[in-house]
């Protein structure tokens, strides 16, 4: 979906692995036509045999932000799908928002560790993040640092309930 420069929007889905970020982001992408950029897919294309080190993730984040900036400055709305667990990545995201002067909507997907592990077993083998184990997914769900900005959605509720909250947030005023 192309829009006038004054109406550009950046929607950011973040949260721990197996929290439903990609599922919800893809559904919103289908409904809105926004350009979708997922960190896992970008990293897999850039580094096909990635071991998911921080250095490799940094490369993928930089490329995702570069792509988002190019899309935003040419008038497209963008959805970003990434964990954004490390402060440096959030700082880089803030720089992107400032540089492009867009309305930014942040959606944090909250998941309890038991649900995250269930989702991990369902998607096992069909996901690019080959470094994940059930124990790591559990630990990351327990330790994820949720921020005080944007909308935090409890994704243990049904997908449709989560989408209702997300749609209402996106129809309102953006909060970085």
Using alpha carbons, select from 12, 7, 36 the residue that is nearest to residue 105. Answer: 12
* pLDDT tens column, 67-101: 999 999 999 999 999 999 999 999 999 999 999 99
Question: Where in the sequence is the domain holding 116, given as residue range(s)?
Answer: 5-168
What pLDDT is stored for residue 103 in this prediction? 93
Q: How many beta carbons lie within 10 A of that of residue 112, not counting itself?
A: 15
3 vs 105 pLDDT, higher one = 105
Q: What is the pLDDT of residue 176?
A: 46
H or E element, residue 110: strand 103-110
Q: What is the pLDDT of residue 28?
A: 97
Which tokens in the block code for residue 56? 């490799």
pLDDT at 50: 81
pTM of the model: 0.90
pLDDT in tens, 131-153: 678 888 999 999 999 998 899 99
Q: Answer whether residue 176 is part of any domain.
A: no
**How many domains in the chain?**
1
Distance, in Å, from the CA atom of 87 to the CA atom of 147, rounded to the nearest integer, reads 11
Encoded tokens for 66:
């570069």
Tens-digit pLDDT profile for residues 12-67: 999 999 999 999 999 999 999 999 999 999 999 999 888 888 899 999 999 999 99
Work out the percent of the chain whose per-residue pLDDT is above 90: 75
Q: Does 97 fall in a domain? A: yes
- Residue 78 sits in a domain of what CATH number? 3.40.50.300
For residue 3, pLDDT over 70 is answered with: no
């Amino acid at each position: 979906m192309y829009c006038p420069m004054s109406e550009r929007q950046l929607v950011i889905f973040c949260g721990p692995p197996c929290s439903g970020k990609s599922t919800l982001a893809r559904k919103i992408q289908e409904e809105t036509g926004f350009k979708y950029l997922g960190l896992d897919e970008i990293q897999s294309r850039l580094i096909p045999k990635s071991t998911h080190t921080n250095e490799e993730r940094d490369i993928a984040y930089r490329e995702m932000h570069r792509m988002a900036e190019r899309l935003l400055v040419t008038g497209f709305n963008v959805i970003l799908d990434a964990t954004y667990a490390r402060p440096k990545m959030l700082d880089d995201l803030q720089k992107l928002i400032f540089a492009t002067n867009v309305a930014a909507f942040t959606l944090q997907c909250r998941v309890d560790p038991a649900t995250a592990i269930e989702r991990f077993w369902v998607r096992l083998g069909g996901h690019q993040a080959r470094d994940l184990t059930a124990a790591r997914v559990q630990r990351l769900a327990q330790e994820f640092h949720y921020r005080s900005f944007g909308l935090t959605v409890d994704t243990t509720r049904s997908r449709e309930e989560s989408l209702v909250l997300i749609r209402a947030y996106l129809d309102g005023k953006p909060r970085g």
